[in-house]
Amino acid sequence: MLHDDSSLLLKTERLSKRYGRRLALTDCGLEIPRGRIIGLVGPNGAGKSTLLQLACGLISPTSGTIEVFGAPPAADAAHLAKVGFVAQDTPVYAGLTVADHLRMGARLNPRWDAGLAHRRIDQVGLSLRQRAGRLSGGQRAQLALTVAAAKRPELLIFDEPAAALDPLARSGFLQNLTEFVAELGASAVLSSHLLSDVERVCDYLIVLCDARVQVAGDVDELLVTHGRLAAPRDALDRLPAGIEIIHPGNDGRHSRAVVRADAPLDHVPGTVEKVELEELVLSYMARAASEPTARAVTTAGEVLR
């Protein structure tokens, strides 16, 4: 579906990023509406951090275009203030105390919410006097999250936000995130290897493998347009137009396949069952892993590795 650009959070066209001869992201086309919590999933090295860094303006595309809120990322100070980013290694200043971080945040950010910052610091049990260099990995993550949230951005971008958090802290963080996004009418993008986290909070999904977007869309829509088809083997070879096999599997006389259907799945031979999000994601990952790698060939057809 095409959206009026002003309603878009993120729009990319033929977006690619290359590091030397290595393609980190290629031919990425996305149109994501505002107000979503977007889960970005994919295996190690898929290009997730690259896409997030492009969206923050930390790196520039090699080719193609990217717009956040209708403008190039980090276009000016006002645009920068709209986006909060927490990088994968949750960077904090080791020599500064928690209170110093909040003071610095207040000085640098016009929309700084001191009340929110102090409430979160209390909630997660950090002391204002602690030096960031002495915090555990999870505590550092909480501090970085607090600083990003207190900017009151319209878009929060998290690279693996929950990786360093214990299960209880992770659950609390995800809860805070959904509440914060709802309260501000903000949007969030989070990359994660934890599909259960994505399933819990995200209403939009991007699966990225081998530098390419494999599938992107509203979670509810994806679950309706995909199914697990069980049918005699020869029937799978003769599927009607509009039905694409994402990942086939065998089960004796029958074959099972996760399929994507542009048409209703009513008239296909065999039985169709619902897929869970995890199976859907794993099917796209398995398909990407079984295909020739996008990174292997340049546009000139030259083999890279």
Ligand X SMILES: Nc1ncnc2c1ncn2[C@@H]1O[C@H](COP(=O)(O)OP(=O)(O)OP(=O)(O)O)[C@@H](O)[C@H]1O
154 versus 210: smaller Cβ distance to ligand X: 210
Least Å distance, CB 168 to ligand X, is 24
Of these, 9, 15, 32, 48, which contacts ligand X (CB under 6 A)? 48
Total chain residues near ligand X (CB under 6 A): 11
Residue 146 interacting with ligand X (CB under 6 A) = no
180 versus 284: smaller Cβ distance to ligand X: 284
Least Å distance, CB 51 to ligand X, is 7
Q: Which of 41, 47, 49, 6 is nearest to 23 (CA)?
A: 47
Our CA angle for 80, 61, 295, nearest 5°, is 140
Edge-to-edge order in the sheet of strand 83-86: 83-86, 155-159, 187-191, 37-41, 204-209, 212-218
The piece of 46-54, 79-87, 251-259, 261-269 that touches ligand X (CB under 6 A) is 46-54
Of these, 45, 217, 269, 270, which contacts ligand X (CB under 6 A)? 45
The piece of 43-51, 125-133, 222-230, 282-290 that touches ligand X (CB under 6 A) is 43-51
Least Å distance, CB 72 to ligand X, is 20
The piece of 37-45, 141-149, 237-245, 274-282 that touches ligand X (CB under 6 A) is 37-45
The piece of 41-49, 130-138, 267-275, 276-284 that touches ligand X (CB under 6 A) is 41-49
The piece of 16-24, 65-73, 248-256, 267-275 that touches ligand X (CB under 6 A) is 16-24
Of these, 2, 4, 44, 238, which contacts ligand X (CB under 6 A)? 44
Of these, 10, 46, 213, 243, which contacts ligand X (CB under 6 A)? 46
22 versus 274: smaller Cβ distance to ligand X: 22
Our CA angle for 214, 7, 59, nearest 5°, is 55
Of these, 9, 10, 15, 24, which contacts ligand X (CB under 6 A)? 24
Residue 50 interacting with ligand X (CB under 6 A) = yes
Of these, 19, 70, 91, 166, which contacts ligand X (CB under 6 A)? 19
Of these, 12, 16, 26, 49, which contacts ligand X (CB under 6 A)? 49
Residue 161 interacting with ligand X (CB under 6 A) = no
Residue 58 neighbours by CB under 8 Å, 6+ apart? 74, 85
- The residues binding ligand X (CB under 6 A) are 19, 22, 24, 42, 44-50
